[in-house]
Structure 1
């Protein structure tokens, strides 16, 4: 194509610089420059972080023949240090990670909406105490942090949320990931039951999606009892 100025030579249509996404954490942080997660693992040929949901990331890895569980543990530790304890970290091993059509390699790809990243508008400030506690049958409060389990309890769970309208009873809404089955439900009942110590009974309800808050954050406890009292 000829330039409008009429001069000959190479025509540069556009210059594409570094294209990188941020990982959005459940507590609302935007984390970038995560390529260093792979710097201490010589057995990783290619690595990429992909995010489709605000409470989960997938670390995609092309590994060489010497890659072991030790390499995965190193990467998981680095990712946990940067992303925090609330986000689920999964590993996906692939044969190749494609580049963009411009030939660029993207270390982070996030499909989570980032509204408010460039210009944040604060419309109001609200407390979130009612999203932090469940109410036991005797009226006492059960802190969400006491239930925040980081082992394999939610291994095949994409999203989850406690919904409560009655003291001592709740529904644990779950968006299942691939592979979720009866063993997963039994494990969740067993592990959370130990934490709750008969203070609260819950049933599991499988759902297709759990809405985020108006600010795009995950709501782990949707507790309506104190909310109703606040309006009385």
Structure 2
């Protein structure tokens, strides 16, 4: 039986990944900052699907938390077959409105943690000749929208570049770029969820199902919804100034579980 490690797993997209992978028969390593919610989630998934669900409390915006997950990913006795880097958050406000400390914390979580965890997983997977990594980015990566969008653009570029470098190793990598998803993300960021029209909101379970199909097909980039595919395609064709209004809507796509 294979094992998947998911960060930011107790809500939203991370929770949807955990439920779907457990239903598919994968054992899980659940990573989040809230140990009580982790243990409740692990017990629920075990009871419903009969899988083993290991709990690992870690704050991935801190070195100690990143190191703890790196150590688990490097365990070759109990290897991880799939890593889902989902943990993330958004800051409310435009550039210079959010405290610099919060911006730096975001970069550590979205960029440094993703780099370090992907590297730890990929090294072990390459030695075994198989494995995969899904890095959750955002459609905000394709729009000019402050530190959040810039950090997610880095995730996309890094993941696709690493996928190319590891193409013949048996290790697959994919960047997942969701649009707006109804999760706890907005409440945590202090953003009102009515800032975007209803048609822009996606269902987490459907999102994860589409993402896993793309991953199985060998894609290195997944934008799992026709509406957002059209939007990101348009963003590549028109001047950046013309998409500034759209970026204000999608610039903080929820990715944190």
Q: Please say whether Structure 1 and Structure 2 have the same fold, judged by a TM-score greater than 0.5.
A: no
Query: Larger Cα Rg: Structure 1 or Structure 2?
Result: 1
Larger RCO (CA within 8 A; separation ≥ 6): 2
TM range (shorter): under 0.3
Higher strand share: 1
Q: What TM-score comes out, normalization by structure 1 length?
A: 0.26
